A and B are shown apart, each in its own frame.
Chain A
């Protein structure tokens, strides 16, 4: 049933290698679900960073080797010696009854690391465990599938799920510290976003096997992070009920990828090398292709979307109020551009019925600013 959509998405991606959803694209999904360009690029598994760079707007993301090394070292430490440290914090810090049983690394199946095969393997083991006949407590790197816009995508598997008290818990291992019981809220939020996607995906999997998903998977996420300024892990429950509900709602409301694809002009592609060579597509041709798809830019995109600089440049060209962000934008309900705001403020444009109330407030504000400009011209 996915076949024609699959073909269109493959055509969009072109010759490039398929990219899986990762922490950043999940954050983008949560923060800007209505952006069509993002939805299509992510669903097709296109390399947004390469596309942005080729279009002349390289993204500013990059990971410092220090952060990478620290992250890996901490994760290794938590998982070392048969997950000894992880079990310690689960038992000591969170007071969970984790029985002393084995663990399963689902990273590959007998040397085969294809996504489909790993997914089948994961499903078999986890469903068995949920039915109470599993032989393990910890499952590392389970391969899950999330339905985004009616289209199933694989999730990058870098998590641990464990069973305690007959429920699955999702563990996020992060290297930002929990200092005096408090961690940076921004980082906690992005960590939970990722975990929420796993909770939803895992629940979907179990639902299909006829298991009550809410009872089987906890929406309390276990965050494992360094304690204070040390290397020693500590753990905390993060209540993700709200975020799970929000993400579920967003996923359900999301325009279906199928419908989005159908609106695209025939033959549209974001391929950088349609002839099989290396990034040789004329820039103009690529930007023309990108411009055929709507993008919903927000300043927040700069934090998580590789395309952000490109979209910002486009929004600037249009004098779009999106540039200023939602706090300023919401003042001018129904008006999209700076040009229109200034036109209304100067009385050069006539407001529509919807805009009349806003226009009164706007003209009043413009009068106030004009008085001030006159009084303080030149000063300071």
Chain B
């Protein structure tokens, strides 16, 4: 956290209202996002309890698993949810543009969950579904493994900075607003919304207190509140089980209806909050570079669609050494690019970097736009120099390559020197791109005297890292996965049957 963002939090604390920390929304927000609120059963691994799904506020579907410990019911739920989600995903596979390698869908799906716990719940569900067999003794519906693989794709994509196929709404909100509470409390959607937009007639303090009361604001999941579990859910599930065992269809229907009603009451407040948050986020303008990042999301969506169409295998349980190195490299690069994109687009983010000396802004106090030097190949090249006076505590070294959000895209520069002078800094930069030639200098290629300008390091372009082929991995990186697992998939399947009714 930089001094600027820490100060924003203190300001929020003092004024008791959320304060802006970006000028833009750096994520694309789909016109038709699919909101998914997953609920799981406490203490169980990947035992879904319910989900509310829909692509508009008025069009919610509630799916409930009456007995989450029952394997058949769990996979019936996975199939129902899978149908809804794959139908939504397929609706984005209509309009395809471009030829050959450039061919891609013009739009991409976007799943929104309340918090990072929601993503974890989907990751567990994905893992539970993607290896299931659609034939044999424990067959599941065709859509289940397909859904598992798609969900895995979305979850993995969500790990990458700057992507927007699957996002937690709390994350989107905290990117734009700082609250006067801790980042831990910001994970609670209701608390976060209490700071940003408290319900009419309620002040932030009251809204915060309400947000933490499970009776007023049930948790946004994935687990339900223990009070609700003990007071309402456990007896209702027991009644369902009793009716199920007795084969009493009337009682069974009644028990099912009761469960649905109970869970609907728990999930609906979060559903409304999700859509309130979405409309708040819509009111924030989208950052200019978000479109280019979205283009890469479309490309990833297209390529995975094609892979699925080709009957591709499910994603592996653990990465190989090479796969992991490749993934890490990709994630690191994406993070650097995203941070740089945000600072370039957004003066708030730029201010963050300026406060730690990773960028600077100031006034041009000296300019030599006509400076010409001899290049290594003995050609006369234009190398204008300008000096900028700044208050920022610049920590960039001579030679650092720079870009500027205030100059044309082709503008490139390099630091020549950074000298302190009477409480300020004088930074001399040499323009190395976008300035034209000695004969035809570009009019706007060099910042003019007295102009205010900001510079930040150029993340540059980096070729994709090269890794050895998987069959020539050094012995230090052989994974134990090559030893066959004692409990292979079939025993897992068999053991899963052991679930049933516990009591």
Residues of A bordering B, CB below 8 Å? 60-71, 73, 92-93, 175-177, 179-181, 226-232, 234, 299-300, 302-303, 319, 321, 323-325, 327-328, 331-332, 338-339, 341-342, 345, 361-362, 364-369, 371-372, 375-376, 379-380
Contact A324:B43 (CB < 8 A) given known A179-B124, A232-B495: no
Contact A365:B355 (CB < 8 A) given known A229-B128, A341-B10, A342-B14: yes
Expressed in whole angstroms, the minimum distance between the Cβ of A240 and any Cβ of chain B is 21
Contact A323:B182 (CB < 8 A) given known A227-B487, A331-B6, A368-B351: yes
Closest to A231 in B: B498
Whether the pair A369, B351 counts as a contact (CB closer than 8 A) is: yes
Contact A180:B10 (CB < 8 A) given known A65-B234, A73-B502, A376-B20: no
How far, in whole Å, are A261 and B252 apart by their CA atoms in the complex?
A: 60
| Chain B residues, Cβ within 8 Å of A177 | 45-46
Instruction: Say yes or no: is B414 at the interface (Cβ < 8 Å to chain A).
Output: no
Whether the pair B43, A372 counts as a contact (CB closer than 8 A) is: no
| Chain A residues, Cβ within 8 Å of B234 | 65-66
Instruction: Say yes or no: is B226 at the interface (Cβ < 8 Å to chain A).
Output: yes
Expressed in whole angstroms, the minimum distance between the Cβ of A75 and any Cβ of chain B is 12
Whether the pair B46, A231 counts as a contact (CB closer than 8 A) is: no
Expressed in whole angstroms, the minimum distance between the Cβ of B236 and any Cβ of chain A is 12
Whether the pair A372, B42 counts as a contact (CB closer than 8 A) is: no
How far, in whole Å, are A65 and B43 apart by their CA atoms in the complex?
A: 9
| Chain B residues, Cβ within 8 Å of A300 | 184
Expressed in whole angstroms, the minimum distance between the Cβ of B144 and any Cβ of chain A is 13
Whether the pair B7, A365 counts as a contact (CB closer than 8 A) is: yes
Instruction: Say yes or no: is B462 at the interface (Cβ < 8 Å to chain A).
Output: no
| Chain A residues, Cβ within 8 Å of B184 | 299-300, 302-303, 325
| Chain A residues, Cβ within 8 Å of B183 | 299, 325, 327
Instruction: Say yes or no: is B59 at the interface (Cβ < 8 Å to chain A).
Output: no
Contact A180:B43 (CB < 8 A) given known A327-B183, A368-B354: no
Report 19 cross-chain contacts, Cβ distance below 8 Å, ordered by A residue: A62-B225, A62-B226, A64-B226, A65-B234, A71-B43, A93-B486, A175-B43, A228-B492, A229-B46, A323-B182, A325-B182, A325-B183, A325-B184, A328-B6, A332-B6, A339-B14, A365-B351, A379-B23, A380-B284
Contact A180:B317 (CB < 8 A) given known A64-B42, A361-B3: yes
Whether the pair B226, A380 counts as a contact (CB closer than 8 A) is: no
Instruction: Say yes or no: is B138 at the interface (Cβ < 8 Å to chain A).
Output: no
Whether the pair A231, B10 counts as a contact (CB closer than 8 A) is: no
Whether the pair A362, B124 counts as a contact (CB closer than 8 A) is: no
Q: Sorted from nearest, which 10 A-B pairs have the closest CB atoms?
A: A67-B43, A299-B182, A177-B45, A64-B42, A62-B226, A70-B43, A325-B182, A230-B495, A64-B229, A331-B6
Whether the pair A342, B351 counts as a contact (CB closer than 8 A) is: no
| Chain B residues, Cβ within 8 Å of A362 | 3, 7
How far, in whole Å, are A92 and B491 apart by their CA atoms in the complex?
A: 15
Interface members, chain B 280-320 (any A CB < 8 Å): 283-285, 317-318
Expressed in whole angstroms, the minimum distance between the Cβ of B240 and any Cβ of chain A is 14
Name A361's contact: one of B11, B41, B351, B355 (CB within 8 Å).
B355
Whether the pair B1, A331 counts as a contact (CB closer than 8 A) is: yes
| Chain B residues, Cβ within 8 Å of A361 | 3, 355, 393
Instruction: Say yes or no: is B348 at the interface (Cβ < 8 Å to chain A).
Output: yes
Contact A338:B502 (CB < 8 A) given known A60-B212, A229-B46, A379-B23: no
Whether the pair A68, B182 counts as a contact (CB closer than 8 A) is: no
| Chain B residues, Cβ within 8 Å of A67 | 42-43, 226
Contact A323:B181 (CB < 8 A) given known A328-B1, A368-B4: yes
Expressed in whole angstroms, the minimum distance between the Cβ of A283 and any Cβ of chain B is 17
Whether the pair A62, B227 counts as a contact (CB closer than 8 A) is: yes
